[in-house]
């Protein structure tokens, strides 16, 4: 009774866990560099190619290893200590950022080199994402996982707010190559945190399956056979494919429609980050409430409406405001989906469930980005926004219509 009273009295119960605090501090620094990287990379590709289609293609290369290996990464994370996996993947991503920075600063960068390095980043992501998502629940326990996910989402979006603004300053004063070098340095704190923390003893999977193929089948059977998990992943997948294309369409929109320089483009991404931060803060302050499917659906609809609005907006302040709304909807959707999947999955299969989530969330957006890039290259960014938003609204309506909902919730 006293333990429950203490937990209720603590507004951020996940912070009671020392290992989680180490992890959160390391991530808070690393993610600022990651967002600098995310803003600088599409601008670099556009400078090298002057092609929205090639920008989409290069971005989509990251999806290939994610699509091929995320599920295997989930099996690995259910069998091997997750901290060991994260140390290896974070070190690999630091090396990739360092390599891009050196190539750009020395003036030797080529598109094919970026393509190879982005594919390598996708490989590390395929192993990193399932382990990282499941590691959060391992650090804090099931009782505090909702608060932990809200906090990690908050620091992710604080970085989303700070990173682009800091990236704009670095790009303007030092050059685009230094954004990647700063990103490489930002991995040092998270690696130090992983090495120094003393997490709880890992609870490795007690799976009835004995080999990789059977364990993959076991995980996928659980995903499809659990109505809440299945419906959540379908909505996230539709949103990821059709609506998470801002990294391709916003820079094209900024260059061709708004006609603003790199610094102003970065501030547009910072506006989206500000909205995302507001959404993440709302998730944390909402307390340990069980996520509802209606919230995920509403956020997907708001994202689609944002894309439709972008098709007709021309003023810089209005575009920034629209991106802020879209950012808030996006982070609430992801946080609610993440927490739903975490609390709906038992320990022995959680990493494999999160691997499917990672596969959808990391694999679908680059594919959608390539499609959006092709539309923007042919008909312009406003038409691409209009097409993606319209199709997304139709898909959300189909997935949430009464008949389809009844099938999704009752089929076993």
Which residues span the domain enclosing 136? 14-197+212-410
pTM of the full structure: 0.75
Instruction: Establish if 205 belongs to a structural domain.
Output: no
403's CB contacts (< 8 A; 6+ apart) are none
Residue-wise pLDDT tens digits, 322-339: 999 998 898 888 888 887
| Triad 310, 313, 316: Cα angle to 5° | 105
Place of tokens 């996996």: 85
Better-scored residue on pLDDT, 233 or 331: 233
- Most distant CA atoms of the chain, gap in Å: 64
Answer for the pair 85, 76: CB distance below 8 angstroms, yes or no.
yes
Q: List pLDDT tens digits, range 18-41.
A: 889 899 999 989 999 988 888 888
How large is the average pLDDT for residues 157-185?
85
The pairs formed by 394-401 with CB atoms below 8 angstroms and a separation of 24 or more are 395/238, 395/242, 396/235, 396/238, 396/239, 396/297, 396/300, 396/301, 396/304, 399/231, 399/234, 399/235, 399/238, 399/297, 400/235, 400/297
The pLDDT value recorded for residue 202 is: 59
Please check whether residue 268 lies inside any domain of the structure.
yes
Is 351 within the bounds of a domain?
yes
User: What's the token pair of residue 242?
Assistant: 């059709």
Q: What is the dihedral of CA 214, 122, 235, 221, to 10 degrees?
A: 0
Closest CA to 55 of 392, 366, 384, 379: 366
In the 3-class helix/strand/coil scheme, how is 270-314 assigned residue by residue?
Answer: HHHHHHHHHHHHHHHHCCCCCCCHHHHHHHHHHHHHHHHHHCCCC
188-207, pLDDT tens digit by residue?
999 999 998 877 665 555 55
112 found inside a domain? yes
CB 39 within 8 A of CB 163: yes
Identify whether 306 is part of a domain. Answer: yes
Would residue 8 count as lying in a domain? no
Separation between Cα atoms, residue 281 and residue 358, nearest integer Å: 23
> Which positions ≥6 away from 20 have C-beta within 8 Å?
14, 136, 139, 140, 148
Question: What's the CATH number where 319 sits?
Answer: 1.20.1250.20
Classify residue 1: in a domain, yes or no.
Answer: no
3-state secondary structure of 396: helix
| Overall average pLDDT of the 131-160 stretch | 80
Per-residue pLDDT tens for 54-82?
A: 777 777 777 788 888 888 888 888 888 88
Asked if residue 143 belongs to a domain, the reply is yes
- As for how many domains the chain has, the answer is 1
């Amino acid at each position: 009774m006293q333990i429950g009273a203490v937990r209720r009295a603590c507004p951020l119960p996940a912070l009671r866990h020392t290992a989680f605090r180490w992890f959160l501090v390391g991530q808070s620094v690393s993610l600022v560099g990651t967002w600098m990287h995310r803003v600088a990379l599409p601008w670099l590709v556009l400078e090298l190619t002057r092609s929205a289609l090639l920008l989409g293609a290069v971005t989509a290369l990251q999806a290939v290893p994610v699509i091929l290996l995320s599920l295997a990464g989930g099996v690995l994370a259910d069998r091997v200590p997750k901290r060991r996996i994260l140390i290896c993947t974070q070190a690999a991503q630091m090396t990739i950022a360092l390599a891009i920075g050196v190539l750009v600063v020395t003036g030797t960068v080529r598109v094919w080199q970026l393509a190879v390095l982005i594919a390598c980043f996708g490989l590390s992501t395929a192993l990193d994402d399932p382990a990282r998502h499941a590691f959060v629940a391992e650090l804090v326990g099931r009782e505090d996982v909702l608060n932990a996910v809200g906090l990690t989402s908050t620091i992710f979006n604080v970085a989303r707010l700070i990173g682009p603004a800091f990236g704009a300053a670095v790009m303007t004063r030092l050059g685009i190559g230094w954004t990647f070098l700063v990103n490489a340095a930002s991995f040092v704190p998270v690696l130090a945190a992983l090495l120094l923390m003393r997490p709880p003893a890992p609870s490795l999977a007690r799976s009835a399956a004995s080999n990789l193929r059977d364990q993959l089948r076991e995980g996928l059977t659980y995903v499809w056979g659990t109505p809440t998990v299945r419906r959540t992943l379908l909505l996230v997948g539709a949103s990821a494919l059709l609506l998470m294309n801002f990294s391709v369409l916003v820079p094209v929109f900024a260059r061709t429609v708004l006609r603003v320089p790199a610094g102003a483009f970065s501030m547009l991404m910072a506006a989206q980050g500000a909205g995302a931060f507001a959404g993440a803060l709302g998730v944390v302050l909402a307390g340990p409430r069980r996520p509802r499917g209606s919230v995920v659906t509403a956020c997907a609809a708001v994202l689609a409406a944002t894309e439709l609005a972008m098709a007709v907006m021309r003023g810089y302040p209005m575009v920034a405001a629209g991106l802020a709304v879209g950012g808030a909807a996006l982070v609430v959707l992801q946080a609610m989906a993440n927490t739903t999947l975490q609390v709906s999955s038992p320990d022995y299969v959680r990493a494999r469930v999160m691997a499917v989530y990672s596969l959808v969330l990391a694999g679908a957006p680059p594919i959608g980005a390539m499609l959006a890039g092709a539309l923007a290259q042919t008909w312009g960014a406003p038409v691409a926004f209009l097409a993606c938003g319209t199709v997304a609204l139709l898909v959300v309506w189909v997935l949430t219509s009464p008949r389809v909902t009844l099938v999704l919730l009752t089929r076993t």
